[in-house]
Structure 1
Amino acid sequence: MLSSAILAVVLCASPAAGADTAVVCPREFREALAPWLAHRRQQGHQIVMLSNLGSPDEVRASIRRVAAGGNLRFLLLVGDADPELYSVAAVRRRSVPAHYSKAVVNVQFGSTREIATDNWYADLDEDRVPDIAVGRLPCDSASELSQLVEKILAYERSADFGAWRRRVHFVAGLGGFGAVADAVLESAAKSLICEGVPSAYSTTMTYGSWRSPYCPDPRDFRRVTLSRLNEGSLFWVYIGHGQPHAVDEVLVPGGRYPILTCDDAARLACRNGAPIACFLACYSGAYDLPRDCLAEEMLRAPGGPVAVLCGSRVTLPYSMSVMGSELLGQAFGEQPRTLGEMFLEGKRRMVADEEPGAYRQALEAAARLMSPTKDQLSAEREEHLDLFNLLGDPLLRVSFPGRLELDANESIAAGETLTVSGTSPLAGRGEIELVVGRGRLTFRPPLRQRFNAETLRDYAETYRQANTPQLCIRRVSLERGAFSTQVTVPREARGPCHVRIFVEGTDGCAAGGIDVVVERESREALKNKRDDAAGE
């Protein structure tokens, strides 16, 4: 425990006028927050502490007074939004209330008439668009807060520079909107993953459709989902239906099997890096309910994710797809330093008045044809600014690997040797892989037109193969600076592929990737054949 003198210095070190970070925190939690405050101030942040005891309007007014200084960039809310705060004094003292905005679009699909949101606190000019990065640590006690702070500091101080930093795990439920709509949504999700995640990163897919090669044995789906969470990754993303205390189930003829529930939080034990989790789903982030939601339970689990992006009420496929696209663009394109800035800019771009890219244009076209809210798409996107919240620290520094630039020929014939060159920002152990292009398989999967329970024992191996895109792997030792190495392309390789490399050093890691097309024969051989045919 910190002495009262040290604690006073930590809490009062900077005036509000120059603050770039405001923290709304109950007085009884401030000692537990002190290690976080010291860590952030050591990083150069100027922090002001604000009271949680006023009404939501009074709390926002205090935030705006700090923002008037011109430097405010981050807002951390410390405490749950327990609905008993309005009737029980002890609960009020340890809580920070959520704001409730009026639901207009999603209420047509069974949502409540109001949306619990923290976005409102981050809107400084009444246009609904956030101006600062906001996140919440939804703790009910000082001990819970201490655990969250410990997890955040351990994440940022981790000296584990292993391959978890380049992994992205996706878990998806079945849409259930009808055959045509489900096909469109599945295609959109595939495009999002294939085009949104750079080739330098490895991905897995766990899909709750028994027809898919990415579906493990449905009876084992829950265990596989937990296993993906526990093996550690940069991001873990769920796409599908959700409820406050569980996500969807895997449905097969004659059976249904859970994917993830609140009861599973106790089984979370990330072995390496705690992931940043994202639920593109309804209600999984309903943090204002009497019973804690799935996102809260996972966040507070000692072995759970370090932060969760989630929706508090009914969320809709079109806007969730836009949100996912913009978040991936920030994560793997702009790469702002903190999670809060990544989430902030993703939200702002979601409603920005600018020409969308090809993926967004395709989403817009599909939504205007098929969405029941096709005449309210702009309003739907704006509503999702309020629906999605960050449960976690907005100042969290995301553990991206460093960037490693690669160069290689655009095409190569199967069986030939490919020369790969680049520049490594650090010395370390390296692994260079030739993998099939994202969304492709190395084998011909079984065709599952009819469900057959007797074949379930084969699902695990098909799932393993579907998530093993490697055609060849070579381990190398690299020095800092320029390098050149070679990869022998297997004779059976064909089509669009990626060459990717990951380097793990003593004080960092780096990843790089480049696209390569593997042809049956070299272009020179094909040209010679054409010349010979023309000469006959």
Structure 2
Amino acid sequence: MRWIAMTSRTISLCSCTLVLLGLCSAFPLTSAAQADEADVVVVAAPELDEALQPWIQMRSDQGLRIAITRPADTAALTHQQIWNAGGPETRYIVLVGDTPDYDARRDQPHQILTWMIPAPVTSRFGSTSALPSDLPYGDRDGDKISDAAIGRLPVRSAEQLTRVIQRIEAYENSDDFGLWRRSFQLTGGVGGFGAMVDTAIESVTRGVITTVLPADTKPQIAYASPNHPFCPAGESFTDAVLHRYRTGARFWVYAGHGQIDRLELLKTTAPDGTPAAREQWSVESLLNNQNANQLKRAPEGATIAVLLACFAGAYDAPGDCLAERMILADGGPIAVIASSRLSMPYGNACMGLGLLESVYSGGPQNTGCDRIGDAMLHAARSLQSKEKGKQS
């Protein structure tokens, strides 16, 4: 599995924006002799060229052909430059650089503008009317069906890019084929967010375990709901989850509630024994921008994180969103897939299940798609086709 980038995925059918932040998909790259022969188009500012060279060499050695273009002053112009450099054979687009904050214009030369696209589902509820997404960059012909996988490395400096590339190289060159590669960690941050949300989260959990994962997968489930059979013992749910993270897993999936800088769950306090006593609920931060550095896992055995929660992938927010902080942490995931705005449980479930089915279904040793970018593209195209069928 290789693919590095933070990819914003917006599917209007589900009102879901999933951002893939930095993974290693070992797709090889080499300089393309002709534009329509490029397997990969990389968008990067000249200031990042030197730091990017080891990654380009690694991909070239793997056999992929690369074309490089520069960020433009608008998303539309950047799209035009991407497809001037690429063509029908282009399978991957990699954006190297963060996007400007949503309330500011591009103020750094290495930043790459994102798109803001309508969000018809959430807007009906008086919430998010538009979603930031890089997905339109992958649509070559404007038919709203993705033609190439799109990802973004949300780095703000050449030094950050160097560290990320070093982690990618370590991950892809790892010969550690221990049990962690068959492990699948799923954390449900439920407990009082409402019957509909809690039921949807539990349904996703059940569907992943019973219909998606191969028989030899080792699922580890942590459910933040009191008295639930999968609620880990101990006083701190967060400590239990972080401990499991450190043991390693191919995927670390969170389904629950999120904010720009944190994942949340509800914590109960037992009654004090008096007749009128009732359980007390309080919000607990499972993971946030402050404790993301407690993610301790060597890059040789890093996980791919999928955050099925609102806002955790808001890569255009001032500062870092949680997904960015996780991917830039030395012990963090090698890729993070997260929502860039408010997302509906149904949309999260459709995209999350579609992604995992693309990874695990078929292929040698149940690997499905060889690269996480291919899996994201397959899941996105499936939902886009359904949406287009509804409109026709």
Q: TM-score, normalised by structure 1?
A: 0.61
Residue of structure 1 in register with 2:38 after alignment: 19
| Shift in Å, 1:127 | 2.6
Does 2:105 match 1:79? Answer: no
Does 2:240 match 1:221? Answer: no
Three-state SS of the structure 1 residue aligned to 2:267 is: strand
2:228 corresponds to which of 212, 215, 231:
212
2:292 corresponds to which of 265, 283, 286:
265
CA distance, structure 1, for counterparts of residue 169 and residue 318 of structure 2: 29
Does 2:148 match 1:152? Answer: no
Q: Which deviates more from structure 2 when the two are superposed, residues 278-287 or residues 244-253?
A: 244-253
Residue of structure 1 in register with 2:385 after alignment: 352
Check the 8 A contact 1:151/1:306 in 2, yes or no.
yes
Superposition pairs of residues 254-403 of structure 1, within 5 angstroms:
254-256=280-282, 257-271=284-298, 273-334=301-362, 335-353=368-386, 378=387
Check the 8 A contact 1:168/1:202 in 2, yes or no.
yes
**CA separation of 1:204 and 1:110: change in aligned 2, threshold 3 A:** farther
CA distance, structure 1, for counterparts of residue 173 and residue 60 of structure 2: 15
AA partner of residue 254 (structure 1): Q
| Shift in Å, 1:108 | 3.1
AA partner of residue 57 (structure 2): A
Instruction: Output one character per residue of 1:200-251: Cα deviation in whole Å (capped at 9) or x when no partner.
Output: 1101111110121211247411112222222211111001111110111232
Superposition pairs of residues 111-130 of structure 1, within 5 angstroms:
111-130=127-146
Check the 8 A contact 1:175/1:185 in 2, yes or no.
no
Check the 8 A contact 2:42/2:96 in 1, yes or no.
yes
Does 2:151 match 1:106? Answer: no
**CA separation of 1:28 and 1:319: change in aligned 2, threshold 3 A:** same
What residue ranges of structure 2 are gaps of 5+ in the alignment? 1-28, 269-278, 363-367
| Shift in Å, 1:265 | 1.5
AA partner of residue 339 (structure 1): I
| Shift in Å, 1:181 | 6.0
Check the 8 A contact 2:40/2:93 in 1, yes or no.
yes
CA distance, structure 1, for counterparts of residue 377 and residue 231 of structure 2: 33
Residue of structure 1 in register with 2:67 after alignment: 48
Q: TM-score, normalised by structure 2?
A: 0.82
Aligned-residue Cα RMSD (Å) equals 2.3
| Shift in Å, 1:129 | 2.2
AA partner of residue 277 (structure 1): A
**CA separation of 1:127 and 1:76: change in aligned 2, threshold 3 A:** same
**CA separation of 1:269 and 1:96: change in aligned 2, threshold 3 A:** same
Instruction: Output one character per residue of 1:13-35: Cα deviation in whole Å (capped at 9) or x when no partner.
Output: 75434211000001111111110
| Shift in Å, 1:64 | 1.8
2:56 corresponds to which of 1, 25, 37:
37
Superposition pairs of residues 439-450 of structure 1, within 5 angstroms:
none
CA distance, structure 1, for counterparts of residue 113 and residue 197 of structure 2: 38
CA distance, structure 1, for counterparts of residue 308 and residue 234 of structure 2: 21
CA distance, structure 1, for counterparts of residue 200 and residue 330 of structure 2: 38
Three-state SS of the structure 1 residue aligned to 2:361 is: helix
Check the 8 A contact 2:30/2:61 in 1, yes or no.
no
Does 2:180 match 1:164? Answer: yes
Residue of structure 2 in register with 1:58 after alignment: 77
Check the 8 A contact 1:110/1:314 in 2, yes or no.
no
What residue ranges of structure 1 are gaps of 5+ in the alignment? 1-9, 354-377, 383-536
1:196 corresponds to which of 204, 212, 236:
212
Three-state SS of the structure 2 residue aligned to 1:241 is: strand
Does 2:190 match 1:174? Answer: yes
Matched residues, percent identical? Answer: 34
**CA separation of 1:72 and 1:258: change in aligned 2, threshold 3 A:** same
AA partner of residue 346 (structure 1): A
Residue of structure 1 in register with 2:4 after alignment: none
CA distance, structure 2, for counterparts of residue 249 and residue 12 of structure 1: 47
Instruction: Output one character per residue of 1:386-438: Cα deviation in whole Å (capped at 9) or x when no partner.
Output: xxxxxxxxxxxxxxxxxxxxxxxxxxxxxxxxxxxxxxxxxxxxxxxxxxxxx
Residue of structure 1 in register with 2:254 after alignment: 238
CA distance, structure 2, for counterparts of residue 179 and residue 86 of structure 1: 38
Q: Which has the higher contact order (CA 8 A, sep 6+)?
A: 2
CA distance, structure 1, for counterparts of residue 41 and residue 358 of structure 2: 24
**CA separation of 1:84 and 1:213: change in aligned 2, threshold 3 A:** closer
Three-state SS of the structure 2 residue aligned to 1:313 is: coil
Three-state SS of the structure 2 residue aligned to 1:154 is: helix
CA distance, structure 1, for counterparts of residue 265 and residue 129 of structure 2: 26
Which structure has the bigger radius of gyration?
1
AA partner of residue 231 (structure 2): C
**CA separation of 1:53 and 1:352: change in aligned 2, threshold 3 A:** closer
